[in-house]
A and B are shown apart, each in its own frame.
Chain A
Amino acid sequence: MHFFAEGRPAKLSDWQVVYADGGKLALNAGVIAYDLNTPLFSDYAHKLRTVWMPPGASAQYSAEGNFEFPVGTIITKTFYYPTPKGTARDAKLAARTYDQSRDFAGTGRSGEGLRLANVHLIETRVLVRRADGWQALPYVWNAAQSEAELARTGDTMPLELVAEDGAREAFTYVVPNENQCAGCHVVDLSTKAIAPIGTRARHLNRSFEYASGTDNQLLHWSKAGYLAGLPELSGVARNADWRNVAEPVAARARAYLDVNCGHCHNAKGPANTTALDLTIFADDDRHLGVCKPPVAAGRGTGDHFFDVVPGKPKDSILAYRLLSNEPGVMMPEQGRSTTHREGVALIEQWIASLPGNCES
């Protein structure tokens, strides 16, 4: 690993965190892969997330907010797609699937890297904790899949999602520029500081299949010396897994909104102009949009009067904007070009389950 205290290394491999090597995307020693209970939707891309900290340094646990990460921390997130089954390898074709079983190089999970024969790498985003705060740097993988190069101004690429039944959907994949990174990663406008989003206890509190065996991620970080101050796990919050139908719909929907919307729609976030709080902490009333008239939705209302109309997902602005993929209407405003069918279905199911109406 190479922590660059300043500047913008031109190549991802300069960081020595993840690198293409002999048919796999490998993780350097000491780099820990992790998943989130419920992740951000990004055009059905699969993601390999890693964290690394300098020897001897550890993050300080926080119950609700971000962990306090030490200077030198490097977080990466590699966006990739499995190659569709039964098609010749084509960089433009991306499997639309939740199946990750073909993604990994080893028998365990991403601790052993990605199998490049089965996946196509798109981009790797680096979040680095420097003395003056976090910085976000986007890297785009080359056609040969041998290196990712710095793309400060972002990139766009035409891709085609291929569903398991063969149905295709063309879309433009958008790599954010550095300022757009901040569009999500500045979660507190009062500081305007960039910060990681996923590395909070409630997102990380889950098991992970490491090469060394399955373990709770927070415990694993703690044992590796990456996390100080972790309380008993029984006292740590845990967001639902949005895909786990064994969990209550409301818990899954709130987890989905928390990670997809809460970075802007929180009390201090850029979308606090709207009076809509979609974090897991928001009260289950007008603060969460129930019967709330929109403030500045413009045409994003879709001719609907309230953000969430209990029992009526098709009358709810929230569901309408998640369903749209048109800039100016869709929410989130950036980070996707396609509609997350399964995510929208969950939110609609949740709205349908809410009691009461907005009539009085």
Chain B
Amino acid sequence: MRIVAIFLFTAFAAGCGNNGSTPQALSADDLAFQKKLQEQFLDAKAGTVIQIPAGKHALDRVLTLRANGVTIRGEGSDKSILSFKNEISGPEGILVYASDFTIEHLAIEDSKGDGLKINDGENIAVRDVRVEWTGGPKTTNGAYGIYPVKSKNVLIEDSSSIGASDAGIYVGQSQNVIVRRNRAEKNVAGIEIENTIGADVYDNTATGNTGGILIFNMPNLALPGQSTRVFKNTSIKNNLANFGAKGSAVASVPAGSGVVVNSNPKVEIFDNDIADNKTANLIISSYYSTSYYNTRGVDPKYDPYPRAIFIYDNRFKGGGDSPDGLDLKTLKTAMFGINGHFPDILWDGYVDAKNQVNGLPPAEERICVRNGSAEVLNADGPNKYKNPKIDKASFQCELPKLAAIELPHS
């Protein structure tokens, strides 16, 4: 039998088949604007600056860029708006296969798929870009807001994502990344760093999402991630019901998760304000706690354990009082009563049994907490939550601090 998922969330069975509706035709002005803009994207070469004038521009197909060294620049993320509400061919809003790329001061709205996807680029800057699904959180919204993948030297700053049906700001399979001063709201996952090596996530605000800030490693991918610093962020009231389609990576995130580390090693979480997240302010978990693990579909070389997690000097407040999902609700009530709450840190309790020293992981692989009165609940997931316990002593340790990320262009 598959391991029962403590963190499995029962998503709504949302109707996301063929919507059947015929998109409205664009106005003559919008068609002319789109044709001209498409030509600019086709003709762009190193040094080209594509200006997006103020105004709301309706487009019906993806804008694809394949030339290196290009800048796309609007007049402000509340002024220059590209609306893909009538999109018939995409599915992204803007799709970029290029390096030395800057996009700034504009908004992308209502794309059928991802808002901004950047695949296989180097030296990427996303600045003051707003990606939003204007109808609010819906399963039929595009998956990712701002989505650099397989890229190197990535800067995302002063941007926002609202309403993504998977992750708002999603950095996947990338290296050397800074995500700072962004706002993520009403997404399933606010900010997600996945299979990425070297990321600094700071001065962001994640609120009103299902989960605020996620650091994940997924199986089967070429790049196992590690080394992420999450600091000086505000992650509060991420209590939105999970509206992700079942089976998507974030569908297993319980509503009310402030910061979640899943199967990702070398993560440092410090100096954040994490508050009023109703499942737990901070969750440390293994891929075994998701409902996706099976021996046939997961690379046996995949490491599902969160190793070397260092949590210190955060300001936790509230939260843990109304966890999502029957298993967690039952656990919370049994341990802390109807009016009680989980401690700030919830750990599913999966450990690499092959790699234990006196009942603990080796010093350099432990979960370490230096965070005042904050406590850790070991949920005892491997034993179906039979013996959950609060255990402070096991987490009394320190880890070497990770180096700051430096980018050539930040």
Contact = CB atoms under 8 A, between A and B. Distances in A.
Interface of A: 152-154, 156, 170, 172, 174, 176-180, 182-183, 186, 189, 192, 270, 272-273, 275, 285-286, 290-307, 317, 323-330, 333-334, 337, 339, 356, 358-360
Contacts of A293: 218-220, 247, 249, 292, 297-298
Contacts, number: 203
B143 A297 contact: yes
Contacts of A290: 296-297
11 contacts: A156-B61, A179-B64, A186-B66, A286-B297, A290-B297, A292-B220, A296-B143, A298-B244, A299-B245, A306-B292, A337-B88
Contacts of B61: 154, 156, 174, 177, 180
A179 B13 contact: no
A297 B140 CA distance: 13
B42 A298 contact: no
A189 B165 contact: no
A324 B244 CA distance: 18
A179 B95 CA distance: 10
Contacts of A156: 60-61, 88-89
Contacts of B66: 179, 182, 186, 192
Given A179-B65, A273-B172, A326 B18 contact: yes
A291 B220 CA distance: 12
Contacts of A275: 220-222
Shortest beta-carbon contacts, A-B, top 5 = A298-B143, A291-B297, A301-B247, A179-B64, A328-B112
B240 to A, nearest CB: 16
Contacts of B276: none
Contacts of A356: 296
Contact of A299 (B34, B89, B172, B244): B244
Contacts of B299: 286
Nearest to A189: B120
A147 to B, nearest CB: 20
B318 interface: no
Given A183-B95, A286-B298, A329-B17, 17 more contacts: A179-B65, A270-B119, A285-B296, A290-B297, A291-B296, A295-B249, A296-B143, A296-B172, A299-B244, A300-B143, A304-B246, A328-B90, A328-B140, A328-B143, A339-B18, A358-B294, A359-B2
B185 interface: no
Contact of B248 (A170, A179, A301, A306): A301
Nearest to A334: B89
Interface in B222-250: 222, 244-249
Nearest to A194: B66
Interface in B71-104: 87-91, 95, 97
B272 interface: no
A177 B41 CA distance: 10
Contact of B64 (A180, A300, A337): A180
